[in-house]
Amino acid sequence: MSSDQAVRGTDDDAASMRISAVNQGYLKDTFAPIFHPPSTPSAAAGPSSPRKPPLINIGTHHRTYAIDLLIDRFFTSCGDAGGQVVSLGAGSDTRYFRYMERPHPPHIRKYIEVDFAASTAHKIKQITGSPRRLPFLVHRNITPDIELRSSASSHPDAANASPTSLISPIYTLLPLDLRHASPKELNDLLLPYLDTKVPTLFLAECVFCYLPPKINETLIKCFGQTFEKCSGIIYEMLGSRDSFGQVMRRNLASRNLDIPGADPFPDLSSESKRFTDPALGEGAFSASGAKSLWDIRKSVIDKEELSRIGKLEMLDEIEELKLVLSHYVIAWGSKGEGMDALHL
């Protein structure tokens, strides 16, 4: 398996974990079974997908709970004017569809997902093949105006190629290899669909750890420079230098995966400071923070919610849970007037 295939394969893992957490009652996500990549054996099984250990299900719950909370607070900061979201390396993520399924969804002005062309092409097939998902491409519009485009750079015969871009009034799916993206390429891709004066959030879940540190810095700087009011959320592994982190690295290496983007950020303080680093210049954020999933379990998640999920499965090893959750972090940053509500 090539390194490209290995990186794309991490989305299969995330989708499988999400399916398991949904099936065991940790999360409510009616779209997760639909978006599970059909190339995996578990996808065809649907609700009977392999059950993950309780520790994995709990981690998936905490990650989803905290990121949803941060995004909700971002939209609260936006007020009636609404906001824009750019999800980097989104893969099979269902967040946009989950949000639009709410009785009172937030005011999403634009929601853009960016990923490898192969990944966006696959997701477009899933979206266009399911009438149930089409109404959510626009808000309160049953017959959305959808445009599909093929990427000439990815397919020599673009006329016969599978579409790699989906453009609708709110939801848009675009192809880009973030490993080689310059600020100009990123802006050329995104700015035709975004308003730089509208509050904008970028989301990077298990993305930056697989990218070179300089690319990550460039991406953060680009968003900070381009948008007057900007927030960012990063989720990734933490502590890759300690003994547990070394075990994680060896496991990833056995699958032809490396995490160069995790090396410069061994602790919570360094994760937080990546948003405010003076090296970002005008792209630096004014406020930032970071919490491990263990911290989030102890101080963020409602006690009633912890009690609810605590009844779903037996968990004997609390110390093992603490060890694992302490090695995953959610970091956030914000800049611009009124954006300080983004915190945990």
**Mean pLDDT in each 10-residue stretch from start to end of the chain (344 residues)?**
79 91 95 68 49 95 98 95 97 94 94 95 86 60 65 50 89 94 95 98 97 96 97 93 88 91 94 97 97 98 98 93 97 94 90
Q: In what order do the strands lie in the sheet with 230-237?
A: 147-149, 165-167, 171-175, 108-115, 83-88, 200-205, 230-237, 328-335, 287-292
Q: Which residues contact residue 253 at a Cβ distance below 8 angstroms, ignoring those fewer than 6 apart?
A: none
End-to-end CA distance of the chain: 39
Within a domain: 189: no
Residues 344/300, Cβ–Cβ less than 8 Å = yes
pLDDT reported for residue 49: 63
What is the rounded CA–CA span in Å between residue 9 and residue 91? 10
Within a domain: 27: yes
The number of beta carbons lying within 10 Å of the beta carbon of residue 332 is 27
3 state DSSP class of 294: helix
* Binding-site annotation, residues: 63, 89, 177-178, 205
Within a domain: 29: yes
Within a domain: 28: yes
Residue type, 290: A
User: With 0-12 CB in 10 A as exposed, 13-18 as middle and 19+ as buried, what is 64?
Assistant: buried
Residue 235 in tokens: 């989720």
Within a domain: 339: no
pLDDT reported for residue 41: 45
Domains contained in the chain, number: 1
pLDDT reported for residue 158: 47
Within a domain: 343: no
CA atoms in the 13 A half-sphere facing the CB of 65: 23
Within a domain: 44: yes
Q: At which residue do the structure tokens 């061994």 appear?
A: 266
Q: Which domain holds residue 15?
A: 1-52
The residue among 34, 31, 40 whose CA lies nearest residue 64 is 31
Q: At which residue do the structure tokens 């004066």 appear?
A: 197
Query: Which ranges constitute the DSSP H helices of 115-180?
Result: 117-128
Tell me how long the chain is: 344
* Binding-site annotation, residues for S-adenosyl-L-methionine: 63, 89, 177-178, 205
Within a domain: 245: no
- The pTM for the full model equals 0.91
